[in-house]
Amino acid sequence: MTEKKTAKMKILISDPLAKQGVDFIKQQGEFDVEVNAKLSPQELLKVIPDYDALIVRSETKVTAEVIEAAMKLKVVGRAGVGLDNIDVGAATKRGVVVLNAPGGNTISTAEHTVSMMLALARNIPQACASMRSRKWERKQFTGAEVYGKTLGIVGLGRIGSEVARRAHALGMKLLGYDPILSPDRARSLNVEPVDVETLIRNSDFITFHVPLNEHTRNLISHQQFAMMKPDVRLINCARGGVINEEALYQALKERKVAGAALDVFEKEPPIDSPLLELDSVIATPHLGASTEEAQVNVACEVADQVVRALRGEPVAYAVNVPPIDPKVYMELKPYLELAEKLGRFQAQYPQGSVREVVVEVFGDIEQLDVRPIRTAVIKGFLESFLHQNVNYVNASLLMAERKIAVTERKGQMLRDYANLITVRALTDKEECSVAGTLFSRTTPRIVRLNEFYLDACPEGVVLICLNEDKPGIIGNLGTLMAQNGINIGAMTLGRTRRGGEAATILNLDSQLTTGIMDDIKQINYINDARVVKL
């Protein structure tokens, strides 16, 4: 007998990635890996529908169009920090995980920044070029010391902080601006925290370490150049666009600025940029992260995370999924499965259109981060309605788009259960509450449906009848199922009191037709019958 082989998931690496990262993925044996760093945007659009994951650096532009075309895409991995070449919004909407490798190139980029600052202060590239043309021009390349000068650092995240440490060691005075810089952190970095205008007005050197976004684009333009000290020098190893290039050109031409060291440009490569014609500009072709060490670090970091994401495991640097500690995830996993089932139940059981969902978590799971449980409920709920991929990335967004409110709360310890997840759905017709628990932290059970206490298995086709507590119901239901060739896998009963209202729940091995459902509703003392698939 030949074993049926499942197709391997496919990963496309569309920018140069260190061999160690590629080898890591290959060694897993579960994926087909294609490295092709020469694809044009049109070629990428053509091939992307085949791939489950895409790994890029900064060259590949992962546009909304690419994401739209990528029918199977589950994850985009960025070997590096900046995400400005990826349309994260479009990816989130489609449920595609976007992750990056933020730590691996911090030191290299900080070192590059300091190198650029010193090279700029001492005219090293210009002097080197002059030497190459066999000149000996000592006077022309007189530079400036950095010792005792003021360095303004805009953005004190990973790279900005490492630059601060190195600049402090060079004897520079440090001013820093970052909206989330705490006084303690500033003190520990020997940085004086100031507002951006004070920094601009008082620095001899200014370096930028911010992401490019709507707040930081053109952060430095004509108005800011007008405030700067004469002979100020600028270093940008963050992103082109943070300094307006046209304004920079003018400031350099008018000698309001003594020099600029640029590793990044508004358009890369900046072939037509007039900045490159100026002697006061030194430039490198986006080399901040281009060291052996950084490239191996980011390649291994992104490869490891993409593999984890494709396996459905949590990843540390996903930018559009809440981060979750892998240990917490292992503890939460069975609860997430239960929560999805409860969400799926509420999508099918109540009548009317759902206006609000309330998720309540009780017992020992309260100690964990319960936000993923809320997402799991939403995922289960929406999957029943939508014909699109609903996952932990896009579930909350899709629910918000549908204007269905979801609230979550933690409760007090219940005497009867070590853990309990209750999901209440409020529709325009009724309110329905279903609760589930994990026995021995592994086995899911539905233990409450509205006023009934139960012990039902949330699996497969589940028939839920509400009936009067009278003899004969089970017999009649059994006969009807037998007549229709439907096997009953399990049965649970619950009642409010002897002879009162009761719930009869059957796990069935096959789906029920509308005709059979009509027959069930005809059985004496059955007041309501509904079916859900879990």
Binding to ligand MLT by residue 241, rule CB under 6 A? no
C-alpha torsion sign, points 380, 432, 533, 440: positive
Task: Work out whether 112 is an interface residue with ligand MLT (CB under 6 A).
Answer: no
C-beta of 208 vs 349, nearer to ligand NAD: 208
444's contact among ligand NAD, ligand MLT, none, with CB below 5 to 8 A by partner kind, is: none
Position of minimal CB gap to ligand NAD: 157
Residue 260: strand pairing partners: 234, 281
If one asks whether residue 211 binds ligand MLT (CB under 6 A), the answer comes out as: no
Which residue, 105 or 126, is less far from ligand MLT as judged by CB? 105
Smallest gap from Cβ 182 to ligand MLT, in A, equals: 25
CB of 194 to ligand NAD, least distance (A): 11
Check residue 80 for interaction with ligand MLT (CB under 6 A): yes
Which of the stretches 76-84, 114-122, 241-249, 461-469 binds ligand MLT when contact is defined by CB under 6 A? 76-84
342's contact among ligand MLT, ligand NAD, none, with CB below 5 to 8 A by partner kind, is none
What is the distance between the alpha carbons of residues 417 and 361, in angstroms, rounded to a whole number?
A: 11
Is 239 annotated as catalytic? yes
Q: Identify the three-state secondary structure at position 532.
A: strand
Classified as helix, coil or strand, 419 is strand
**Smaller CB distance to ligand MLT: residue 234 or 404?**
234
Tell whether residue 57 is a contact of ligand MLT (CB under 6 A): yes
Handedness of CA 496, 502, 506, 511 (dihedral sign): negative
Residue 213 has which token pair?
Answer: 């976004």
Shortest Å, Cβ 401 to ligand MLT: 30
Euclidean distance between CA atoms 296 and 19, whole angstroms: 8
Cβ-based nearer residue to ligand NAD, 238 or 465: 238
Binding-site partner at residue 237 among ligand NAD, ligand MLT, none, CB < 5 to 8 Å by type: ligand NAD
Token code pair at residue 103: 């730590």
Cα 203 to Cα 124, 146, 161, 233, distances in angstroms = 22, 11, 17, 9
Instruction: Please identify, among the stretches 80-88, 90-98, 373-381, 417-425, the one whose residues bind ligand MLT according to the rule CB under 6 A.
Output: 80-88
Q: State the catalytic residue, choosing from 239, 374, 448, 495.
A: 239
Residue nearest to ligand MLT (CB): 80
Question: Contact region for ligand MLT (CB under 6 A) — 20-28, 78-86, 321-329, 381-389?
Answer: 78-86
Tokens 């009642």: give the residue. 495
Q: Which does 11 bind (CB under 5 to 8 A by kind): ligand NAD, ligand MLT, none?
A: none
216-246 as b/e: b if 16+ CB within 10 A: bbbbbbeebbeebbeebbbbbbbbbbbbbbe
CB-CB contact of 207 with 230 (8 Å): no
14, 60, 92, 105: residue in contact with ligand MLT (rule CB under 6 A)? 105
| 81 lies in the site for ligand MLT, by CB under 6 A | yes
**Among residues 289, 449, 462, 532, the one that binds ligand MLT under rule CB under 6 A:** 289
Is 34 an annotated catalytic residue?
Answer: no
All residues at 6 or more sequence positions from 81 whose CB lies less than 8 Å from its CB, including other chains: 100, 101, 102, 105, 158
Applying CB under 6 A, the residues found at the interface with ligand NAD are 80-82, 102, 105-106, 109, 154-160, 177-180, 209-212, 215-216, 237-239, 263-264, 286, 288-289
Please give the single-letter amino acid code of residue 154: V
DSSP state of 116: H
Residue 263 touches which of ligand MLT, ligand NAD, none (Cβ within 5-8 Å per kind): ligand NAD
Per-residue DSSP letters for 122-189? Answer: TTHHHHHHHHHTT---SSTT-----TT-EEEEE--SHHHHHHHHHHHHTT-EEEEE-TT--HHHHHHT
Q: Of 268, 360, 468, 501, which one is the catalytic site residue?
A: 268
Residue-wise over 325-346: b if at least 16 C-beta within 10 A, else e? Answer: eeeeeeebebbbebbbbbbbbb
- In angstroms, the CA 472 to CA 110 distance is 79
For residues 392 to 431, the per-residue mask of contacts with ligand MLT, x marking binding by CB under 6 A and - elsewhere, is ----------------------------------------
Q: Based on CB atoms, which residue is closest to ligand NAD, 113 or 280?
A: 113
Using the minimum distance from each CB to ligand MLT, give the nearer residue, 85 or 476: 85
If the CB atoms of residues 59 and 451 are measured against ligand MLT, the closer one turns out to be: 59
- Burial (Cβ within 10 Å: 0-12, 13-18, ≥19) of residue 480: middle
Binding piece for ligand MLT, criterion CB under 6 A, among 75-83, 200-208, 357-365, 469-477 = 75-83
216 binds, among ligand NAD, ligand MLT, none (CB under 5 to 8 A by kind): ligand NAD
Contact 533, 462 (CB under 8 A): yes
Respond yes or no on whether the N-terminal peptide bond of residue 269 is cis (omega within 30° of 0): yes
Q: Find the shortest distance in angstroms from Cβ 144 to ligand NAD.
A: 24
Provide, rounded to whole angstroms, the least separation between the CB of residue 94 and ligand NAD: 24
Beta strands in 450-517 (DSSP E): 452-456, 461-468, 488-495, 501-508
Closest contact distance (angstroms) between CB of 255 and ligand MLT is 30
State the Cα–Cα distance between residues 62 and 67, nearest whole angstrom: 7
Distance CA 30, CA 19 (A): 18
Instruction: Tell me which amino acid residue 271 is.
Output: I
Q: Which does 57 bind (CB under 5 to 8 A by kind): ligand MLT, ligand NAD, none?
A: ligand MLT
342 lies in the site for ligand MLT, by CB under 6 A? no
C-alpha to C-alpha distance for 432 and 527, rounded to whole angstroms: 16
Is 268 noted as a catalytic residue in this protein? yes
- Give residues 259-288 in contact with ligand MLT (rule: CB under 6 A): 288
Residues that bind ligand MLT (CB under 6 A): 57-58, 80-82, 105, 288-289
Which residues are marked as active site? 239, 268, 286
